[in-house]
């Protein structure tokens, strides 16, 4: 099992450009999430999905879109990049275990917007 | 005020020391409490999970939750250099994915 994979590992964008961060998991987990991690802020939930075809907003959804057409893939789209979106982005998939959701995180994508 | 507060450290201890990591929170509806460990330039990995108040032990790690004080702790006994990482607390109201994370405490265990 590869677990959760993310591409690219690094990306530099100019303000106003759009791009898609890719996330895939091979564990057949129903739940997938996108977080951003900024210094002093911890991880903040952007969007999440409870299954194919179902997505919902998290804590900081503005400026991002998601879709979930398959169980395996959960791409995150930046519509018009802004410097405030410079961050490290983590995708996670999870399943129910011991009464809660055990999350598995990908290695992250480091995004810089200039 | 952030929903979850965590002392960012850094915290530096000698090998073998007992480490105490703490978080406070403001939302009394939180019921599920987790600790994640994150090595440099890696994604977080789940260490401990606790539901409601009480203690939970797993090897050298003990998680404590005091809901009356809105305070959670992670204790590491006999700390090792391999424990050097950033430790994140996380909590949620219900057993879904909508978690709130602390900012993380960076720990260094010196040989």
Check if the beta carbon of residue B101 is closer than 8 Å to that of residue B84. Answer: no
Question: Omega of the bond prior to B10 within 30 degrees of 0, cis?
Answer: yes
If pLDDT is split at 50, 70 and 90, which confidence band does A110 have? very high
Which residues, including other chains, have CB under 8 Å from residue A97's CB and lie 6 or more apart?
A: none
Residues of chain B with Cβ-Cβ distance to A34 below 8 Å are: none
Q: What is the pLDDT of residues A37-50, one digit of tens each?
A: 998 888 999 999 99
Q: Give one word for B29, left, alpha or beta, with left for phi > 0 and alpha for psi -120 to 50.
A: alpha
pLDDT of residue B94: 77
Nearest one of A34, A27, A62 to A48, comparing CA atoms: A34
Q: A108–B43: do the CB atoms touch at under 8 Å?
A: yes
From B69's Cα to the closest Cα of chain A, the distance in A is 22
- A-contacting residues in B 21-50 (Cβ below 8 Å): 32, 34, 41-46, 49
Q: Output B99 or B79, whichever has higher pLDDT.
A: B79
Q: What is the pLDDT of residues B31-57, one digit of tens each?
A: 989 999 999 999 999 999 888 888 999
* Beta pairing partners, A26: none
Check if the beta carbon of residue B85 is closer than 8 Å to that of residue B38. Answer: yes
From B51's Cα to the closest Cα of chain A, the distance in A is 8
- Alpha carbons A79 and A99: distance in angstroms, whole number: 36
Residues of chain A with Cβ-Cβ distance to B98 below 8 Å are: 45, 48, 58
Which strand (E) or helix (H) includes residue A13? strand A10-13
* Beta pairing partners, A30: none
Which of A42, A45, A104 shows the shortest C-beta gap to B98?
A45
Q: Is the pLDDT of residue A99 over 70?
A: no
- Alpha carbons A23 and A7: distance in angstroms, whole number: 7
The CA-atom distances, in angstroms, between B72 and each of A36, B58, B75 are 23, 16, 10
Residues of chain A with Cβ-Cβ distance to B88 below 8 Å are: 42-43
Which residues, including other chains, have CB under 8 Å from residue A1's CB and lie 6 or more apart?
A: A26, A27
Which of B41, B42, B49 shows the shortest C-beta gap to A98?
B49
């Amino acid at each position: 099992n590869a677990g959760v994979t993310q591409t690219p590992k690094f990306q530099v964008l100019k303000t106003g450009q759009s791009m898609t961060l890719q996330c895939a998991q091979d564990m057949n987990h129903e739940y997938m999430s996108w977080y951003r991690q900024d210094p002093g802020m911890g991880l903040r939930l952007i969007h999440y999905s409870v299954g194919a075809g179902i997505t919902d907003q998290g804590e900081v959804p503005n400026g991002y879109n998601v879709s979930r057409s398959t169980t395996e893939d959960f791409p995150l789209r930046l519509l018009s990049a802004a410097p405030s979106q410079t961050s490290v982005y983590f995708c996670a998939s999870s399943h129910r275990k011991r009464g809660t959701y055990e999350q598995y995180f990908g290695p992250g994508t480091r995004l810089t917007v200039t | 005020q952030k929903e979850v507060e965590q002392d960012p450290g850094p915290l530096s201890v000698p090998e073998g020391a007992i480490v105490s990591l703490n978080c406070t929170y403001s939302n009394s509806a939180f019921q599920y409490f987790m600790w994640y460990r994150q090595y440099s330039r890696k994604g977080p990995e789940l260490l401990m999970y606790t539901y409601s108040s009480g203690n939970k032990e797993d090897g050298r790690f003990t998680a404590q939750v005091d809901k009356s004080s809105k305070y959670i702790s992670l204790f590491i006994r006999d700390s090792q250099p391999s424990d050097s990482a950033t430790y994140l607390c996380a909590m949620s109201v219900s057993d879904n994915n909508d978690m709130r994370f602390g900012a993380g405490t960076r720990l260094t265990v010196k040989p």
